[in-house]
Amino acid sequence: MRYVILVTVFAALAFSAQGAPEAKALRVLYLTKSAGFEHSAIKRDGDKLGYSEKVIGEIAKQMGATYTATKDASQINAANLKNYDVVIFYTSGNLTEPGTDKQPAMGASGVADLKAWVEQGGGLIGFHAACDSFRTEGEGVSPYTQLMGAEFAGHGKQFKGSIKAVDKSHPAMQHFPDGWSANEEWYTFKKFNPDMHVIAVLDAGEERGKQEMYKGPSYPFIWCRAEGKGRVYYNGLGHREDTVWDNKDVQASIADAIRWAAGEGALDAESNYKQVVDAQEKTLAK
């Protein structure tokens, strides 16, 4: 009987080692090309990775993911995107031009390839200046802006603002406290894609009476979208190293966002933009 048991155990181990499929490591690409303004959080000193590149690299390591950080926007192409599950953008300007950092530009089909990759199941994440890429003049909206969800409009002086959850149960908010606040550079946005699920809004608080651009109601600051079979997540945070990238709550939320973008957990991306905007306007009017 003992011999039979041992044979069975060794057979099971052999099957586990040879026949059972191994879990595939999550593959993450972080693009930090600056064709426009280059933020300190992504600026490199020679060959040394930028601050946020190192932070996300450590998060990826703790998640057991493979990680590539690059300023080479030409890597956003149909063939190369197949090598990744999640792509993160912290970019600025027209990425099809060498621009400020003089790093390789995105090819002419880059945005179309990115969109197609997401539609086929890829996960796209944008932080802070990601909405400052491919801006258009007037009322026009670029395909990239439609994909990411909104376009950068401007920012005022830094102040202590608060992130108020709209959807506390969203997988990407699991470790991000409702009412989280910090001194940060707070973006304002325009050309919102109403086909978005607002996860959290920025509450400017007393700053409404100090800076004209923040006097209105709270507005979408963290959101997600479904694009075909894929997922898109954007978070306006990311300017400051000390209050944002070093913050443990932010780091935990980045890991949550990566997992969600990779397809883990509920999609939870039904459009709620109009309801949220209307509710914030009514709240301010009271």
* DSSP code per residue over 147-209: HHS-EEEEE-S-EEEEEEES-TTSGGGTTS-TTEEEEE--EEEES--SS-EEEEEEE-GGGGG
The parent domain of residue 110 ranges over 24-285
Domain membership flag for residue 11 = no
List the chain pLDDT tens, one digit each, 286 residues.
Answer: 333 333 333 344 343 345 545 668 999 999 999 999 999 999 999 999 999 999 999 999 999 999 999 999 999 999 999 999 999 999 999 999 999 999 999 999 999 999 999 999 999 999 999 999 999 999 999 999 999 999 999 999 999 999 999 999 999 999 999 999 999 999 999 999 999 999 999 999 999 999 999 999 999 999 999 999 999 999 999 999 999 999 999 999 999 999 999 999 999 999 999 999 999 999 998 7
Question: pTM of the predicted model, to two decimals?
Answer: 0.92
Q: What is the pLDDT of residue 24?
A: 84
Q: What is the pLDDT of residue 286?
A: 79
Q: What is the pLDDT of residue 9?
A: 38
Rounded CA-CA distance 198/267 in Å is 13
Q: What is the pLDDT of residue 22?
A: 61
Domain membership flag for residue 14 = no
What's the domain count of the chain? 1
Asked if 76 and 114 count as a contact pair (C-beta separation under 8 A), the reply is yes
Burial of 243 (C-beta count, 10 Å sphere; 0-12/13-18/19+)? middle
Domain membership flag for residue 9 = no
Domain membership flag for residue 7 = no
Domain membership flag for residue 5 = no
Domain membership flag for residue 245 = yes
How do beta strands 151-155 and 180-184 pair?
A: unpaired
Q: CATH code at 146?
A: 3.40.50.880
Helices 248-261 and 51-63: crossing angle in degrees, nearest 10, is 60
